[in-house]
Amino acid sequence: MKAITIHQPWATLIALGEKKFETRGWKTNYRGPIAIHASKQLLYDHRLPKLSSTLWEHGFRKEDDFPLGFVLAIAELVDCRKVSDWLTNKGMPVLHGAEDDYYLDDKEYAFGDYTPGRYAWELINIKRIEPVPVKGKQGLWNWNYGTCINCKEDKELLPLDDVQGICEDCAQVMSDLAP
């Protein structure tokens, strides 16, 4: 599965379903499932009132509340909308998509960097998962996550071949059993 590493608290905001656009200076042509990975960095600015109040409502109140270095959610990337210099009548930038335009509201606007020329990666079907510790990478990277062919649990996998994998626990048991 593709994955993207995002600084906190924005990764948590996505996992909570409060932020559906990840804003970046670059776009990708990839469309499909994407893992939302929280980086080891918390860039929390308490001066952003909308950010603080939304996180507070969800029980994220102190720095320790934010998982750092974990995959937090799985979503579907459906578009990379270009932030235009057109403004809505409320002064919000319009996002040009592949098929239509999107009109930002002030809450979403507060949760990203919508400088014209940047891209808003549109995420739908965001599902929060039990956080999985994973080392992040730059850009769009591959996270090998799926159903272990041995224990049948959904876990991070060590690849056996291009399509099948086995989890680290099962691989450990097998290597202990090996003569």
70-87 vs 119-133, strand pairing mode: antiparallel
* Complex with Zn ion: residue 14 or 148, whichever CB lies closer: 148
* Complex with Zn ion: residue 151 or 160, whichever CB lies closer: 151
Binding residues for Zn ion, per CB under 5 A?
148, 150-151, 167, 170
CB of 148 vs Zn ion, minimal distance in Å: 3
* Complex with Zn ion: residue 94 or 167, whichever CB lies closer: 167
CB of 165 vs Zn ion, minimal distance in Å: 9
CB of 134 vs Zn ion, minimal distance in Å: 17
CB of 178 vs Zn ion, minimal distance in Å: 16
* Complex with Zn ion: residue 15 or 167, whichever CB lies closer: 167
* Complex with Zn ion: residue 124 or 151, whichever CB lies closer: 151
CB of 167 vs Zn ion, minimal distance in Å: 3
Q: Can you give the three-state secondary structure of the chain, one letter per residue?
A: CEEEEEEECHHHHHHCCCCCEEEECCCCCCCEEEEEEEEEEECCCCCCHHHHHHHHHCCCCCHHHCCCCEEEEEEEEEEEEEEEEEECCCCCEEEECCCCEEECCHHHHHCCCCCCCCEEEEEEEEEEEEEEECCCCCCEEECCEEECCCCCCEEEEEECCCCCEEEHHHHHHHHHHCC
